[in-house]
Amino acid sequence: MATVRVGISGWRYPRWRGDFYPSGLVQRRELAYVAERMPTVELNGSFYSLQRPASYQRWRDETPDGFVFAVKGSRYVSHMLRLRGVETALANFFASGVLALGPKLGPVLWQLPERLAFEPEVLEAFVAGLPRTTGEALELARRHDARVDGRSWLEIEADRPIRYAFEPRSASFESPDAAAILRAHDVSLVVADTAGRFPAFGEQTASFTYVRLHGAEDLYASGYTSTQLDAWAGRIRGWAEGDPARDVYVYFDNDARGFAPHDALALGERVRQDPSVP
């Protein structure tokens, strides 16, 4: 049976204190508070900079068994190198502590800049070069450069598959050729709701579905109505109960005005009784 996980993108937002987070809750308890109420979180600090193994270990230890972290891939890979010549950057990313999450490591998300257009050769080379298991990721991580010397994590407790999701923001990725490349490598083309700013996509290219909800009317800011949440719940059930059934990961990124955690709880409640939601 497919599993649906609904969560949020990040959790450390001052605007949420005294609203989603009770007044007086210390900051170091915020992740644990989230993990008591939803089964997954998207780590977005990893997009901006290489994190440290101690941070990944702490996040792992602050969450219960069965909790899953999606990890946002480094913008150095996606926005600066623009998916070209990425082997050392990928090695540094995986050596920085990602593997310390162990069984709590979920999909790795690659978000692309709007101006990065689809080039078949570049996309094929990038996704073909991604490590498909934590064992392969460990071998790659051992080739890191001096940037993570003395602060690397180079061990795994078991060899597990790694899933990848791809969030382009250029309409050029609506090409059937792009979907074919992702499908050949079991990489999920992200279903994105961006208030009409970027393509929504929606074609299923992997054995799982990855959804990012940034806001229906106001990017990163607007909340979702009951009607809109009902519609998303219906789509999610379709993916999770379809033929083939797919695991579904959903992350709310409409965090600016504090709607994300409330919407995540409301959507999770809507789908909980249908697919298997932790």
Please give the pLDDT value at position 16.
96
Taking only the tens place, the pLDDT of each residue in 92-113 is: 999 999 999 999 999 999 999 9
Please give the pLDDT value at position 272.
84
**Is residue 1's pLDDT more than 80?**
no
Taking only the tens place, the pLDDT of each residue in 111-140 is: 999 999 999 999 999 999 999 999 999 999
Distance CA 83, CA 36 (A): 36
Please give the pLDDT value at position 3.
96
DSSP state letters, the chain = --BEEEEEE----GGGBTTTBPTT--GGGHHHHHHTT-SEEEE-HHHHS---HHHHHHHHHTS-TT-EEEEEPPHIIIIISTTSS-HHHHHHHHHTTGGGGGGGEEEEEEEPPTT----HHHHHHHHHTS-SBHHHHHHHHTT--GGGTTS-----SS--B--EEEE--SGGGGSHHHHHHHHHTTEEE-EEE-TTSS-------SSEEEEEE--SSSTTTPPPPHHHHHHHHHHHHHHHHSSS--EEEEEE--TTTTHHHHHHHHHHHHHHTTTB--
Answer yes or no: CATH 3.40.50.1240 is held by domain 4-272: no
Please give the pLDDT value at position 275.
47
**Is residue 77's pLDDT more than 70?**
yes
Which carries the bigger pLDDT value, residue 277 or residue 200? 200
Distance CA 246, CA 236 (A): 9
The predicted model scores a pTM of 0.96
Percent residues over pLDDT 90 in the chain: 97
Calculate mean pLDDT across residues 207-220. Answer: 97
